[in-house]
Structure 1
Amino acid sequence: MSLYLLFDIGNTRMKWAAVESTQNPSDRQKKLWAYSGSVSSKSLESAEHRTELADYIAKTLPKPDAIAFACVAGNQAAKNLQSLFPQWSDLTWKEFTGNTPFNGVRTLYQDPNKLGADRWAGLIGARALSSTNTLVVNSGTATTIDLLGANGIHYGGWILPGLDLMQSSLQTNTAQLPQAHRSAEQSGFGLNTNDAIIAGCDAAQLGAIEYAAQIAKEMNHPIERIYLDGGSAKILHQAIQKGLTSNLGLAECVDGLVLRGLWSWLIQSEKS
């Protein structure tokens, strides 16, 4: 049995988890992520915060057998991450990138080197959960929407501003629009400026997902699953459940798709 320590460094949040190789990346039990956490990615810039994080993890877990990470927050963030755990200096940090090969899933991206590591790992994580035509939606700082065929082929995807970025850009780049705030009652057309911004940004995100499903159908890959991950996943999922979109297959929130992908990769690497 091996213990894996996994890190997903996004532009806003860094997630981590520890899992055992005897567990299965397809497991949907909440206890699967019993040893996990999330902190601001900016905390890696502080030596003090890095020391606190490393000390907390090292006291919580035994020494892992392998450490893997995916990073889209820049080279310095990756270097800062790898400065953690000097007491485990004999361990090799394994970086997962957009061109990391994985048996059973391949991408049609023209230059895999430029495919985001988080998108690629998320696709592999989705494959661990389902072998059907799937839209993988990660709604964080940016929202990414990717088509993964039942045949294991990634047919490409889209990148658009995330919900918070859409909303804040209106406040930043206009003279009179305010920073909008979400309330539980908002639905449909907004009858005031705040609700109009929130509903408009939601509609843009949901419209992109529905349009992606339409294109997938035209490509003879009708969507059977939609996996939503990221900070705004629950918002989008609730909107879909309210019936604001149609013909979107089975949509569900799945935490840690990137971490699942890293985990699947380590298991496959260990066997090869």
Structure 2
Amino acid sequence: MTASIKLLIEIGNSKLKAAQLHLDAKGGVTGMHYIGSYSVTSFCYRPNREKIGNVDQIIYSNVGDRKNYQHVKALSKKLKIRYQQITSPAQAFGVTNSYDAPTKLGIDRWLAFLAAYKDANGPVVVIDIGTAMTVDVVDGGGMHLGGWISPGFRLMNLALTEHTALVRAGGHHGDELTMGTNTKACVQNGSRAALAGTVLYAIQKAKSMFTDHEEPTLYLTGGGINHLPPEIVKLGLNRPHLVLEGLILYVK
């Protein structure tokens, strides 16, 4: 057996993230190299072979359109390699899915809290902020205790701008969460405050579900983390590629 490189792909609601996973001759992981974020069609039909490298397998997850399966299949044909799609199981790697219909749990959520639990080796609260904001709690025994799904930063802004006549949003914001002095700032900071409040209440709620000696570790992931004020980000571990880390566990 020789050293090899796997192509890890996380397909979200709006974009695709990809990384190389390097394995030694014994199959041990020697490192993960993040390739970047792309539209699904551009990455699959116009692959940058120099960036992708000499990979021998695609391992991917998909929470977007079902048609993405065909796009990944097309990519595998272009690269002349096999591919494997990961879906949410009832139980794996010492973690138990709380859903009655396990495959209905978003695979991004499963992979994120699976990776966090294996990393912490104990109870975790995992918050992923992208198009949607998801919260998941896993206890010290690996039992998923459930979670929440709410709009992410962009969807909150869109809900206001599309359903009100005079409200506008957009532009950049600073790190500090302040009181706005114009409508755009009020919308942006109101959405940021909602995200921050969800994080704080999730921590409080999780602690109430555990015994006194269990202290959950907070993991933050997703591109929307940059909308949280710094003092909230400091409460947890910022792991931007947690879903990709979860895919590593499925590499054989």
Please, what TM-score do these two structures have when normalized by structure 2? 0.87
Match in the other structure for 1:12? 14
Give the CA deviation at 1:87: 4.8
What number of residue pairs does the alignment pair up? 246
* Structure 1: segments with no counterpart, 5+ residues: 243-249
TM superposition outliers: structure 1 runs of 4+ over 6 Å? none
Q: Is the 8 A contact 1:7 1:14 kept in 2?
A: yes
**CA 219–79 in structure 1, closer or farther in 2 if over 3 Å, else same:** same
User: CA contact under 8 A between 2:161 and 2:168: conserved in structure 1?
Assistant: yes
Instruction: Pick which of 214-223 and 117-126 moved more.
Output: 214-223
Return the letter of the residue paired with 1:71: N
Whether contact under 8 Å (2:112, 2:246) holds in the other structure is yes
* Partner AA of 1:62 in structure 2: N
Matched, 1:108 2:98: yes
* In structure 2, C-alpha distance between the alignment counterparts of 1:16 and 1:176, rounded to whole Å: 39
C-alpha deviation, 1:176, in angstroms: 0.8
Where 1:126 maps in the other structure, the secondary structure is helix
Task: Tell whether the 8 Å contact from 2:45 to 2:74 is kept in structure 1 after alignment.
Answer: no
Matches within 5 A, 1:233-252: 233-236=225-228, 238-241=230-233, 250-252=235-237
Match of 1:77 among 63, 68, 71: 68
Q: Which residue of 1 aligns with 2:130?
A: 140
> 1:126 is aligned with what amino acid?
A
- Listed one character per residue, the Cα deviations across residues 24-76 of structure 1 (whole Å, up to 9, x for unaligned) are 77x9xxxx4435221023xx1x6xx63322xx136741132x32110011210
Q: Are 1:52 and 2:46 an aligned pair?
A: yes
Mark the CA change 1:93 to 1:40 in structure 2 (over 3 Å): closer, same or farther.
Answer: same
8 Å Cα contact 1:136-1:145 kept in structure 2: yes
Q: Distance in 2 between matches of 1:2 and 1:124?
A: 24
2:128 counterpart of 1:129:
no
8 Å CA contact 1:167, 1:179 repeated in 2: yes
1:264 aligned to 2:249?
yes
Give the direction of change, closer, same or farther, for the CA distance of 1:265–1:59 in structure 2 (3 Å limit).
closer
The normalised TM-score by structure 1 is 0.81
Equivalent of 2:170, from 180, 190, 200?
180
1:180-205, CA deviations, whole angstroms, 9 ceiling, x for partnerless residues?
33322652322322221112111111
SS at match of 1:83: helix
Distance 1:217 1:72, change over 3 A: same
Alpha-carbon distance in 2 for matches of 1:235, 1:223: 26
Match among 161, 171, 195 for residue 185 of structure 2: 195
Greater shift in the superposed pair: 215-224 or 104-113: 215-224
Question: Could you tell me how far apart the structure 2 residues matched to 1:186 and 1:219 are?
Answer: 31
- Which residue does the alignment assign to 1:231? 223
Q: Mind listing any 5+ residue stretches in structure 2 that lack a counterpart? A: none
Tell me the alpha carbon deviations over residues 51-106 of structure 1, each in whole angstroms, 9 at most, x when there is no partner: 322xx136741132x321100112101211221132554x4321111227422111
Letter in 2 for 1:37: G
Q: Note the 1:213-228 alignment, pairs <5 A.
A: 213-220=203-210, 223-228=215-220
Cα RMSD (Å): 2.5
Letter paired with 2:5: L
Between the aligned partners of 1:51 and 1:97, the Cα distance in structure 2 is 23
Measured in 2, the distance between the counterparts of 1:158 and 1:169 equals: 19
Larger % of strand: which?
2
CA contact (8 A) 1:227 1:251 kept: yes
Deviations 1:192-247 (A, max 9, x none): 222211121111111112212122111116553211111111332625158xxxxx
Aligned-pair identity in percent equals: 30
